[in-house]
Amino acid sequence: MISTRSLDAAVQRRIWVICEGKHEQSGALECLIRRIMPAATACEFVFESWKNPRGVKRRFRASPKGDGVFKKLIAALIDASELQYDGVVCVIDCDRDPGRVQSVDRAQYDETFAMARAFGVAIETFDACFLADEKSLSSTLRCNVDMQKDPESNRDAKQTVRDLRDASGIDLGLAECYANLAEVADLSIMAQRCPKGFAVWRKRVEQL
């Protein structure tokens, strides 16, 4: 499912990474991908916004079937092929919309285009997985952090992370906080405590 060009050992694989928030772009998300994806050191990751993966004037291609999320992901696969990417990684927030999970799963397993992909839905948001491992939170925030309640049921995980950071008194921006957590968090614990979102996406990234 990878393009012919990516089989050349002398050529890096180019991976298109599509995500929602500024805290995901580069930094934390790239760190997670590099920790999860086999041979990530031989890859070039290019980040784009879920809102406009091809720029401000981007218009997604029409698709005869599926809802908006499904069509958007299929359009991304088409464009990734034309732009000579070797794979696409995408993670979006669920935001209490279970239909997004179904749409992303359909796009993940759609066989219309032979493009490597790892599509996932963060439940409820990307921030939630960083609440899974209290040891990494404690080391990053330099204070004792108790185990957090079910991260995937937290409707405002970003605010929870912000509150924990503020309570610690550490001078650390939120983006830097996420990046630091991404470096030290236990991926197995994250997958265990976020089985519907992070665990599914992690497995797909491992298979790229």
Residue length of the chain? 208
Q: Are residues 97 and 135 in the same domain?
A: no
Q: Are residues 17 and 102 in the same domain?
A: yes
pLDDT tens profile 65-79: 567 899 999 999 999
Q: Are residues 14 and 103 in the same domain?
A: yes
Q: Are residues 12 and 59 in the same domain?
A: yes
Q: Are residues 49 and 135 in the same domain?
A: no
Q: Are residues 115 and 29 in the same domain?
A: yes
Q: Are residues 93 and 26 in the same domain?
A: yes
pLDDT tens profile 40-68: 999 999 998 888 655 444 444 544 556 78
Q: Are residues 104 and 47 in the same domain?
A: yes
Distances (CA, A) of 120 to 51, 58, 90, 164, 168: 16, 22, 6, 26, 31
**Count of domains observed in the chain:** 2
| Amino acid present at 86 | D
Report percent pLDDT > 90 for the chain.
78
Walk across the sheet containing 87-93 and list its strands: 43-49, 13-19, 87-93, 116-122
Q: Are residues 73 and 158 in the same domain?
A: no
User: Which CATH number does the domain housing residue 46 bear?
Assistant: 3.40.50
For residue 201, the tally of other CB atoms under 10 A from its CB is 27
Q: Which domain holds residue 171?
A: 128-184
For residue 113, the tally of other CB atoms under 10 A from its CB is 15
Q: Are residues 119 and 133 in the same domain?
A: no
pTM over 0.85: yes
Q: What is the pLDDT of residue 26?
A: 64
